[in-house]
Amino acid sequence: MNKELMEALEILEREKEISKDTLFEAIENSLITAYKNHFGKADNVKVEIDRETCDYYCYAEKEVVDEVEDPVMQISPEDAKEIDPKAKTGDIVRVEIRSKEFGRIATQNAKSVILQKIREEERSVIYNQYFEKEKDVVTGIVQRYMGKNISINLGKADAILNENEQVRTEHFRPTERIKVYILEVRNTPKGPRILVSRTHPELVKRLFESEVTEIKDGTVEIMSIAREAGSRTKIAVRSNNPNVDAVGACVGINGARVNSIVDELCGEKIDIVNWDENPGNLIQNALSPAKIVAVFADPDEKTAKVVVPDYQLSLAIGKEGQNARLAARLTGYKIDIKSETQAKDAPGFRYEDYVYDDEEYDEEDYGEEGYGNYDEAYEEETYNGADGSDEYVEEGEA
């Protein structure tokens, strides 16, 4: 048994995750290459390696001929009988080749073949490992800044956080651990090229999936996400179990769950609202924490007119229109927000007797309904970052 070769193969399999069969194949090819470099051709060379003992046997198949014209491919009857006493003209005999007889150059070439195969397999293993994690979140360590890009070490490979995938308000130090979303894994001649992001909305979704057990097991579903990275995110959730409060499950006891995600996102504010199949209710929830008087939604045109109390207009629109803009992305509706005074003065804008989907909705219908238990249980918390301090008071459309 070739114990040294066996131990070397086991170490490579364990550390590089390269299968023994691949390594055996590389050794076989290297011996054939060495023979070809030494003798000029290797069409008749065979290599057999015992997978259990790692003993290998290299031989050339030569034809027995009376007059030898090509010593690489042919052998005389006299020489053939020394190997096999029964050999006769026209037979094929196996002539053992001793690898120790190869020249220095042939040996170096054989070594290069093995090392090249190991490098290729190592790259392939790393590529497959991270390709399976594409569209998922991993933890990495900040390595260094490369211009405006950041190199992130993911363990067995380095990823690139491009400038356009970085949050402007985030600044990282080398050796700092961060979570990133794998956008794409490319297989290149120099190894896998991994592109990651800190701005993608799916990053928030994956963080909630890892933090909230109810989302992981399917009890609570994330129906929609709208994000402005580094500033604010709105997320709509739905519970498949009537006994489970979707918003409460995501917030956690004393906000433990959502706070851990906020910390990971460096203080980014997160609004969590209930999903509703009724577009009017959904838009009302999406504009949280603003109180809504009435919502007039047109499912065909994907537009909605929203009426809010005069003192709630700036809160509904948000700073620089952010709240309305995120609500529009979350619901997929183009939202026009007006105060009660503006709505009453606007021609043809009567919300007192508006009828939608054969049901009558009035001011009472759109009071505080649609928020579930979120407003009552967490009204004093700041998970959504809405403190009513926004001063944007102009009429807005998102």
Chunked mean pLDDT (size 10), the chain, 398 residues:
77 83 84 76 78 80 85 84 84 80 74 85 89 93 93 92 92 93 91 93 94 93 94 94 93 92 93 93 92 90 92 91 93 92 72 39 36 31 35 36
The pLDDT value given to residue 349: 57
The pair phi, psi for residue 149, each rounded to 5°, is -95, 160
Which pLDDT value is given to residue 330?
94
pLDDT for the residue 137:
94
Identify the burial level of 287 via C-beta atoms within 10 angstroms of its C-beta, where 0-12 means exposed, 13-18 middle and 19 or more buried.
buried
Taking the C-alpha atoms of residue 336 and residue 304, their distance in angstroms, rounded to an integer, is 6
Q: Is beta strand 334-339 parallel, antiparallel or unpaired with respect to 303-308?
A: parallel
- Would you give the distance in Å from CA 383 to the centre of its chain? 27
pLDDT confidence of residue 385 = 35
Residue 112 DSSP class: H
The pLDDT assigned to 101 comes to 66
| Measured CA distances, 182 to 23, 146, 191, 211 (Å) | 31, 19, 16, 18
First vs last C-alpha separation in the chain: 75
Cα 391 vs. chain centroid, distance in angstroms?
39
Structure confidence at residue 21 (pLDDT): 84
CA distance 141 to 202: 20
